[in-house]
């Protein structure tokens, strides 16, 4: 941990030296301006202990390592256990939607082997199109879980693959905190690293994607992200091919795990580019980036889903451009030795601007001619923030793709969101190569998190790191014991000394010590009282952070959403298990190849839990297919029946929350179905038809007739009008929308109710087969000719005698004179 | 036919009515007259629209060219109030969109005499507003070539907004005329950028002998923090969603700066949060400064306490705002 790292010659000595106190590499530094602190390595609460221990121990470095290991282990343990709320409250179950698909494919992988998995064509999804799963997923997650399962079984620890999947994300959170520790240690010092590890272990912004049961790409991807960054920083610092190759391998793992790898492949070139601009080019950067780019490119193309994208899409072009630029720059640097100063300046200026221009123009040209695909919609919407709203309703419809309010920032990061700018400030004030990286990371991540809620995930690690830097600075200055500092451990030597003469580490120790004690005198002024007040309050804030994290995790992020819970007044809990009830019904009672139509949200769950064929699912790759389902849901029954017959639908599954007041049901999502359908079929579906003339979306009597007769409405409220939930409300009262429904007398002609779960949450309808004989809509035509023949020519008038002005007698009425 | 016309413009002298009626009398003249009138009207409209893509109308013109048959052309009318004293900012925005749309139609290859864009300002044709029972501006209406406008011929401004793409969609729906909206490229952004770049470039050139300030870390750090504060206080949300600055309760006139729900925010609120975050960050920096700077002990102690106060007080304030928005949040610090 405290091994001396010789930093090779640095031509920006002046900058580095001014920040030498911060660039202590695992050792606390005692450089010119700053005072040293022997316990800086253990400032995360363990500093107090460290102070007491270091005096009487011969090998403080050993104690430091032990403390670090203990803290990291505890962070792992805390992170793991705070993610277990859902397992303890409910059971070991896969959560939400996407994890069900991941689980299903992991299951397939573990039972059929890797090659079968790569070639898997899933005929159960996107009926009738099917889906090539092997080529359309990031396989890292499944392979990781499958591998762990395989190894465990090899050791005769027999666990079900489901348990591996459920606990994968919490286990990886521990690895994330370790790699965050390593990265922060490279950037600042060990104390900040330990704080960062503790922060990221419990911060809600990361827990939201990695609770037990949330078996999703992000769970392992954040580990890969942090580890790649650590290796990158390491390779930039050391300039060794070894670390650069390690970085590539880690990058390969990231590419195989999550689409967010694009962030890495843009951030690292940006880092190199900014280093060039700051004239911080060095051979180390050259070696690191050249190795990373080439090997990383080749490795990333090995993932089937990524394929040739790295050389054919705009998202990856920045990396290639910077690579070319770097080569040109390096070449010019080489020429520098061979030319006079004047010649070189002209050549340099011309060369660099020419190279930049050529790269830029060729990218534009290639994009224009179609060799390079332009930005895909999801990425484009990050820059042009109004783009998705207008052009791609399916992206805009996902709640994760909404912009972020300050409340979400505070909710997910609490104190860290207010303090991490301070860390950024310290980093920029004491800049060096790797701190340029973390500053760029912070600024780009905070922008992306502002645009999209889900990208809060990439912001969280850097916030933890920078906050740790800020807190570590404060603790370093306020936590230490005044007495202890008079005898700093011999290991403490400044980086300055290190650089000047890396060999004799101990020669300068005496000088340093003197320097420190000078500093001490000035410092004692702050006094122990002020120091302890500051320390107390800071620790209190951190304690509040821990409490907040636990509360948020427990209340907001630990619900499986497959199983719902409701609480009574006395605090007892009701479990609503309607989803699984219904899916199990489908599994048991329908034919094996039955096709189930539902809105895309439930596709993965139907496939995973009910094992039935679905039409659309959460992999929203085919917008027109989804629009067709949306059109069926929003048309009237007859039109919908035609669509359903053309798609061979056997069952329709909908979610209806009106009985228990569940707000995430299909009627609330209905407008999105209409919008998506309208996007593809503007002639048949019009959003305005589903509103009242006042522009409201209402399900009661005032609602628009198109809405009251569309398939979704009919299926949701079929026989709901007969149901009175309690005595204060009329029958057919929808609790979610607080309205009495407008169409209580719903008759279904082509569908019949097949199953409704206990709380009506899931309703399944069977689509009737077409009748053998078409029933005729209109009355049979009665032929006139026949009739006339039968009644002959005698009309009623002719049959009987007919008297004009005949008296008509009315019974019970007295004839009066005047009538006669 | 002519009599209808006369009737509608009631302020014409009676004599004229008679002469017009007399003119109409000759047999067969009615049909011919109608055609003449029609072609005259179309010609007039074409002439106007060749001069300006949106035809301004007053009450009389409106009745003659838009309301009265015979017509074989559709007319889109924007009823608006553009006079400055009306203070209708929405009208001005809508007018811009409308101009964009009308120009796209005017200069498109499909331009014909089937569709005209007109505008009626309240201050020029208040009687039209009264006649149509209209009490809000702007309003877009379509007058079809045949028959009277139906309900759907009034553009639903409240729900769809007045973007010209939406207007074009609505027109395509009502008249079967497809207009591809062509926005004149907005050069203002480019020009501003070019100005900025040239300004910065010029400044750099002028001070080329003294480029120290580029290496000024404080400036860069400030810039970075500005970005961070803007994002963490939700300015991007404001940019995309466009919330009001603050909410004024119409009943008692109380202005609330903090939105009651955790799903939304006001602009004022995000500014407050920005300041709070900045204050806390500054507190942290001051704490560090107090410990590291060399100087008078008393002064440093004060800096230290100020920094601590900033952190603790503003954080508890922030927490209390959060608590008021996120219902059911149990924790608070110093301030309830």
The 10s digit of each residue's pLDDT in B281-315 is 999 999 998 888 887 888 888 999 999 999 999 99
> Nearest 5°: phi and psi at A784?
-70, -35
Q: What single string gives the DSSP state of each residue in A163-175?
A: HHHHHHHHHHHHH
Domain A577-767: assigned CATH number: 3.40.50.12610
Output the six-digit token pair for A606.
């139907």
- Contact list in B for residue A270 (CB cut-off 8 A) is none
Lowest mean pLDDT among A162-176, A638-652, B59-73: B59-73
Most confident of A44-48, A600-604, A811-815: A600-604
Which residues lie closer than 8 Å to B183 by C-beta, 6 or more apart?
A: B100, B164
Do the chains contact at B233 and A406, CB–CB below 8 Å? yes
- Percent of chain B predicted with pLDDT > 70: 87
Do the chains contact at B236 and A419, CB–CB below 8 Å? no
Residue B284 touches chain A, beta carbons under 8 Å: yes
Beta strands, E only, chain B: 54-57, 74-80, 115-121, 139-143, 247-248, 255-256
Pairing of strands A613-614, A595-597: parallel
pLDDT computed for residue A379 by the predictor: 65
Contact B325, B259 (CB under 8 A): yes
Nearest beta carbon to residue B232 from set A409, A477, A537: A409
pLDDT computed for residue B250 by the predictor: 81
Q: Which pLDDT band, with edges at 50, 70 and 90, does A374 fall under?
A: low
Residue B166 touches chain A, beta carbons under 8 Å: no
Pairing of strands B54-57, B115-121: parallel
pLDDT computed for residue A493 by the predictor: 38
- From CA A432, how far away is CA A23, in angstroms rounded? 8
Chain B, window 240-259: residues with a beta carbon less than 8 angstroms from a chain A beta carbon: 240-241
- Contact list in A for residue B223 (CB cut-off 8 A) is none
Of B156, B217, B231, which to mutate for an interface test with A (greatest number of A Cβ within 10 Å)?
B231
pLDDT computed for residue A107 by the predictor: 92
Q: Which pLDDT band, with edges at 50, 70 and 90, does A54 fall under?
A: very low
Rounded to the nearest angstrom, the minimum Cα separation between A696 and chain B is 9
Do the chains contact at A526 and B270, CB–CB below 8 Å? no
- CA of B157: which chain A residue's CA is closest? A695
Q: Nearest CA to A634 among A558, A713, A524?
A: A713
Nearest beta carbon to residue A424 from set B159, B225, B237: B225
Torsion over CA: A578, A579, A581, A582 (sign) = positive
Domain boundaries, chain A: 577-767
Contact A309, A376 (CB under 8 A): no
Chain B, window 291-330: residues with a beta carbon less than 8 angstroms from a chain A beta carbon: 291-292, 294, 297-298, 300-301, 304-305, 308, 311-312, 315, 318, 322, 325-326, 329-330
- From CA A567, how far away is CA A573, in angstroms rounded? 5
Of A391, A406, A532, A696, which to mutate for an interface test with B (greatest number of B Cβ within 10 Å)?
A406
Do the chains contact at B315 and A527, CB–CB below 8 Å? no
Residue A152 has pLDDT above 80, yes or no: yes
- The fold of the B33-175 domain, in CATH, is Glutaredoxin (3.40.30)
Cα–Cα separations (whole angstroms), residue A476 to A39, A468, A497, A596, B123: 8, 11, 21, 62, 72
A529-572: pLDDT as tens digits: 888 899 999 999 999 999 999 999 998 888 888 888 877 777 78
Beta strands, E only, A543-594: 564-567, 573-576
- From CA A96, how far away is CA A214, in angstroms rounded? 7
Task: Name the one residue in this structure whose structure tokens are 């990208």.
Answer: A455
Rounded to the nearest angstrom, the minimum Cα separation between B186 and chain A is 15
- From CA B30, how far away is CA B32, in angstroms rounded? 5
Nearest beta carbon to residue A407 from set B288, B301, B322: B322
pLDDT computed for residue B13 by the predictor: 47
pLDDT computed for residue A27 by the predictor: 35
Task: Name the one residue in this structure whose structure tokens are 């109409």.
Answer: B24
Do the chains contact at B291 and A478, CB–CB below 8 Å? yes
Burial-class residue B90 by CB neighbours within 10 Å (0-12, 13-18, 19+): middle
Do the chains contact at A551 and B294, CB–CB below 8 Å? no
- From CA A60, how far away is CA A56, in angstroms rounded? 9
Mean pLDDT of A76-103: 90
- Contact list in B for residue A415 (CB cut-off 8 A) is 315
Q: Nearest CA to B73 among B108, B49, B107?
A: B49
- CA of B307: which chain A residue's CA is closest? A534
Most confident of A254-263, A810-819, B73-82: A254-263
- CA of B288: which chain A residue's CA is closest? A474
Q: Is the ipTM of this complex over 0.90?
A: no
Nearest beta carbon to residue B229 from set A421, A473, A695: A421
Rounded to the nearest angstrom, the minimum Cα separation between A801 and chain B is 54
Residue B277 touches chain A, beta carbons under 8 Å: yes
- Contact list in B for residue A442 (CB cut-off 8 A) is 224, 228
Which residues lie closer than 8 Å to A577 by C-beta, 6 or more apart?
A: A563, A758
Q: Record the pTM.
A: 0.76
B91-125: pLDDT as tens digits: 888 888 888 888 888 887 777 778 888 888 888 87
pLDDT computed for residue A732 by the predictor: 85
- CA of B305: which chain A residue's CA is closest? A530
Contact B77, B6 (CB under 8 A): no
- Contact list in B for residue A523 (CB cut-off 8 A) is 291
Do the chains contact at B281 and A522, CB–CB below 8 Å? no
- Contact list in A for residue B294 (CB cut-off 8 A) is 522
Do the chains contact at B284 and A422, CB–CB below 8 Å? yes
Do the chains contact at B221 and A449, CB–CB below 8 Å? no
Lowest mean pLDDT among A238-247, A625-634, A700-709: A700-709
Do the chains contact at B312 and A541, CB–CB below 8 Å? yes
Do the chains contact at A695 and B156, CB–CB below 8 Å? yes
- Contact list in A for residue B229 (CB cut-off 8 A) is 421
Partners of B140 in beta bridges: B78
Do the chains contact at B234 and A470, CB–CB below 8 Å? no
- Contact list in A for residue B218 (CB cut-off 8 A) is 429
- From CA A211, how far away is CA B250, in angstroms rounded? 45
Residue A15 has pLDDT above 80, yes or no: no
- CA of A692: which chain B residue's CA is closest? B159
B185-234: pLDDT as tens digits: 667 777 888 888 888 888 877 776 766 667 788 888 999 999 999 999 98
Do the chains contact at A544 and B331, CB–CB below 8 Å? yes
Rounded to 10 deg, the angle between the A527-555 and A456-478 helix axes is: 160
Residue B239 touches chain A, beta carbons under 8 Å: yes
Of B311, B314, B323, B334, which to mutate for an interface test with A (greatest number of A Cβ within 10 Å)?
B311
- From CA A70, how far away is CA A475, in angstroms rounded? 19
- Contact list in B for residue A550 (CB cut-off 8 A) is none
Of A407, A432, A532, A541, which to mutate for an interface test with B (greatest number of B Cβ within 10 Å)?
A407
Residue B173 has pLDDT above 80, yes or no: no
């Amino acid at each position: 941990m405290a091994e001396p790292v010789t930093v090779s010659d640095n031509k920006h000595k002046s900058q580095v030296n001014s920040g030498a106190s911060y660039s202590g590499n695992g050792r606390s530094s005692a450089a010119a301006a700053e005072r040293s602190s022997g316990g800086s390595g253990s400032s995360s609460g363990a500093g107090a202990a460290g102070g007491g221990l270091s005096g009487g121990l011969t090998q403080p470095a050993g104690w430091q390592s032990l403390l670090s290991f203990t803290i990291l282990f505890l962070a792992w343990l805390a992170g793991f256990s705070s993610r277990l709320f859902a397992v303890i409250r409910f059971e070991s179950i896969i959560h939400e939607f996407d994890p069900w698909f991941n689980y299903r494919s992991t299951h397939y992988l573990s039972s059929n082997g890797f090659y079968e998995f790569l070639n898997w064509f899933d005929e159960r999804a996107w009926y009738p199109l099917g889906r090539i799963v092997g080529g359309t997923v990031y396989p890292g997650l499944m392979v990781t879980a499958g591998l762990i399962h395989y190894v465990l079984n090899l050791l005769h620890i027999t666990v079900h693959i489901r348990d591996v999947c459920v606990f994968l994300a919490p286990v990886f959170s521990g690895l994330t905190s370790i790699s965050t520790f390593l990265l922060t240690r490279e950037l600042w010092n060990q104390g900040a690293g330990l704080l960062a590890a503790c922060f990221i272990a419990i911060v809600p912004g990361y827990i939201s994607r990695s609770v037990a049961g949330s078996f999703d790409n992000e769970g392992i991807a954040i580990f890969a992200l942090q580890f790649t960054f650590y290796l990158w920083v390491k390779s930039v610092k050391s300039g060794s091919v070894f670390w650069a190759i390690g970085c590539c391998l880690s990058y390969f793992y990231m590419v195989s795990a999550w689409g967010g790898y694009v962030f890495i492949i843009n951030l690292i070139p940006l880092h190199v580019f900014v280093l060039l601009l700051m004239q911080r080019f060095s051979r180390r950067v050259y070696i690191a980036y050249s190795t990373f780019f080439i090997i990383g490119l080749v490795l990333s193309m090995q993932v089937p889903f990524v394929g040739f994208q790295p050389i054919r899409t705009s998202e990856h072009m920045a990396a290639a451009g910077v690579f070319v630029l770097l080569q040109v720059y390096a070449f010019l640097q080489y020429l520098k030795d061979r030319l006079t100063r004047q010649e070189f300046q002209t050549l340099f200026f011309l060369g660099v601007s020419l190279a930049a221009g050529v790269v830029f123009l060729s990218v534009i040209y290639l994009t224009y001619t179609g060799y390079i695909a332009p930005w895909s919609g999801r990425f484009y919407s990050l820059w042009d923030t109004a783009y998705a709203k207008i052009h791609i309703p399916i992206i805009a419809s996902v709640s994760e793709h909404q912009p972020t309010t300050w409340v979400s920032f505070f909710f997910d990061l609490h104190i860290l969101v207010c303090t991490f700018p301070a860390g950024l400030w310290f980093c920029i004030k004491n800049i060096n190569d790797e701190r340029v990286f973390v500053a760029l990371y912070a600024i780009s991540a905070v922008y992306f998190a502002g645009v999209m809620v889900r990208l809060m995930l990439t912001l969280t690690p850097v916030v933890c790191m920078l906050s740790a830097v800020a807190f570590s600075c404060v603790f370093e200055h306020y936590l230490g014991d005044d007495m202890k500092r008079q005898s700093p451990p011999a290991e403490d030597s400044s980086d300055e000394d290190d650089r000047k003469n890396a060999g004799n580490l101990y020669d300068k120790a005496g000088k340093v010590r003197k320097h420190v004690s000078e500093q001490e005198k000035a410092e004692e002024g702050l006094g122990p009282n002020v120091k302890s007040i500051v320390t107390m309050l800071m620790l209190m804030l951190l304690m509040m952070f821990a409490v907040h994290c636990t509360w948020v995790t427990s209340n907001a992020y630990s619900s499986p959403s497959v199983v719902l819970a409701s609480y009574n007044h006395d605090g007892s809990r009701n479990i609503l298990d309607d989803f699984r009830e219904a899916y199990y019904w489908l599994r048991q009672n329908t034919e094996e190849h039955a096709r189930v139509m539902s809105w895309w949200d439930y596709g993965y769950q139907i496939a995973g839990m009910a094992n039935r064929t679905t039409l659309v699912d959460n992999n929203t790759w085919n917008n027109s297919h989804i629009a067709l389902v949306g059109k069926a849901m929003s048309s009237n029954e007859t039109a919908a029946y035609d669509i359903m017959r053309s798609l061979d639908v056997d069952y329709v599954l909908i979610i209806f929350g009106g009985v228990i007041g569940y707000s995430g049901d299909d009627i609330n999502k209905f407008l999105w179905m209409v919008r998506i359908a309208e996007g593809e079929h503007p002639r048949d579906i019009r959003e305005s038809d589903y509103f009242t003339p006042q522009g409201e979306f209402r399900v009661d009597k005032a609602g628009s007739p198109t809405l009251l007769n569309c398939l979704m409405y009919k299926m949701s409220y079929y026989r709901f009008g007969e149901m009175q939930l309690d005595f204060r409300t009329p029958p057919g009262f929808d609790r979610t929308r607080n309205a009495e429904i407008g169409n209580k007398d719903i008759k279904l002609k082509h569908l019949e109710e097949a199953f409704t779960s206990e709380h009506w949450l899931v309703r399944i309808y069977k689509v009737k087969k077409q009748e053998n004989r078409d029933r005729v809509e209109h009355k049979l035509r009665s032929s006139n000719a026949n009739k006339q023949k039968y009644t002959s020519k005698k009309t009623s008038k002719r049959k009987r005698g007919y008297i004009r002005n005949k008296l008509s007698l009315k019974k019970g009425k007295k004839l009066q004179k005047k009538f006669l | 036919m002519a009599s209808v016309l006369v009737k509608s413009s009631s302020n014409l002298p009676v004599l004229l009515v008679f002469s017009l009626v007399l003119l109409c009398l000759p047999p067969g003249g009615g049909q011919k007259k109608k055609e003449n009138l029609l072609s005259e009207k179309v010609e007039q409209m074409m002439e106007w629209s060749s001069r300006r893509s949106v035809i301004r109308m007053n009450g009389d013109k409106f009745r003659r060219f838009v309301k009265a048959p015979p017509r074989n052309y559709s007319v889109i009318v924007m009823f608006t109030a553009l006079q400055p004293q009306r203070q209708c900012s929405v009208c001005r925005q809508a007018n811009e969109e409308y101009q964009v749309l009308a120009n796209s139609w005017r200069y498109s290859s499909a331009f014909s005499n089937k569709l005209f864009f007109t505008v009626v300002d309240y201050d020029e044709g208040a009687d039209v507003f009264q006649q149509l029972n209209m009490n809000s501006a702007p309003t877009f209406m379509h007058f079809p070539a045949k028959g009277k406008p139906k309900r759907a011929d009034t553009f639903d401004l409240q729900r769809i907004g007045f973007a010209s793409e939406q207007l074009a969609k609505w027109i395509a729906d009502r008249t079967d005329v497809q207009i591809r909206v062509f926005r004149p490229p907005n050069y203002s952004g480019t020009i501003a950028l070019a100005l900025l770049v040239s300004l910065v470039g010029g400044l750099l050139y002028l001070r080329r002998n003294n480029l120290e300030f580029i290496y000024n870390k404080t400036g860069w750090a400030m810039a970075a923090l500005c970005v961070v504060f803007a994002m963490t206080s939700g300015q991007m949300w404001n940019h995309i969603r466009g919330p009001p600055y603050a909410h004024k309760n119409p009943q008692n006139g109380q202005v609330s700066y903090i939105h009651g729900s955790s799903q939304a925010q006001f602009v004022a609120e995000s500014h407050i949060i920005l300041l709070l975050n900045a204050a806390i960050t500054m507190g942290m920096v001051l704490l560090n400064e107090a410990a590291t700077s060399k100087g008078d002990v008393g002064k440093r102690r004060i800096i230290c306490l100020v920094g601590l106060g900033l952190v603790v007080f503003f954080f508890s304030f922030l927490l209390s705002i959060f608590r008021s928005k996120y219902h059911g949040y149990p924790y608070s610090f110093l301030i309830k």
